[in-house]
């Protein structure tokens, strides 16, 4: 299973959020590796749990920051987070019901991995540009 490497083009220019994204990628990679190497169900369930928890921690913190900055695109950004929250809790439920199937591995690698990268590059990046614009104003 493919893991994700942090690259500088993923930086949105807000230090604490970049750090959270790096951690998020680490949790993603640990989950992907646990599934790929058919680690014990306990290990997979643990890494997937960490990933889900960390996603919530990160989304809440990013949303708080957006609200505090009166970010005009807050509602649409939060709607994207909410979609992923739903998808991720479905993945966790599928895992609990069916274990680490190939479908789950594919969903994590293709859907979740791509979502993560696209969201940072397209959606979070706009928030970074907004904050940078405010500092220069």
The b/e string for 53-92 (b: 16+ C-beta within 10 A; e otherwise) is: ebbeebbeebbebbeeeebeeeeebbebbeebeeebeebb
Taking CB under 5 A as the rule, which mask of x and - marks residues 45-74 in contact with Fe ion?
-----------------x------------
Comparing CA positions, the residue from 78, 116, 109 lying closest to residue 91 is 109
Q: How big is the CA angle at 97 (ends 43 and 50), to the nearest 5 degrees?
A: 35
Q: Which is nearer to Fe ion, 62 or 109 (CB)?
A: 62
With binding defined as CB under 5 A, does residue 18 bind Fe ion? no
Residue nearest to Fe ion (CB): 124
CB of 73 to Fe ion, least distance (A): 11
Q: Which stretch binds Fe ion (CB under 5 A): 28-36, 49-57, 92-100, 122-130?
A: 122-130
CB of 13 to Fe ion, least distance (A): 13
CB 108 within 8 A of CB 91: yes
Number of residues interacting with Fe ion: please give it, by CB under 5 A.
Answer: 2
CB 122 within 8 A of CB 87: no
Taking CB under 5 A as the rule, which mask of x and - marks residues 19-38 in contact with Fe ion?
--------------------
With binding defined as CB under 5 A, does residue 124 bind Fe ion? yes
């Amino acid at each position: 299973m493919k893991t994700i490497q942090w690259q500088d083009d993923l930086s949105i220019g807000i230090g604490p959020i970049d750090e959270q994204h790096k951690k998020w990628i680490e949790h993603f990679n640990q989950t992907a590796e646990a599934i790929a190497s058919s680690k014990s169900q306990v290990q997979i369930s643990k890494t997937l749990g960490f990933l889900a928890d960390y996603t919530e921690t990160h989304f809440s913190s990013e949303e708080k920051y957006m609200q505090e900055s009166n970010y005009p695109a807050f509602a649409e950004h939060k709607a994207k987070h909410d979609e992923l929250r739903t998808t991720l809790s479905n993945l966790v439920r599928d895992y609990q019901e069916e274990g680490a199937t190939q479908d789950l591995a594919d969903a994590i690698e293709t859907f979740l991995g791509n979502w993560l990268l696209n969201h940072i590059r397209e959606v979070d990046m706009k928030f970074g540009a907004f904050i940078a614009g405010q500092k220069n104003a």
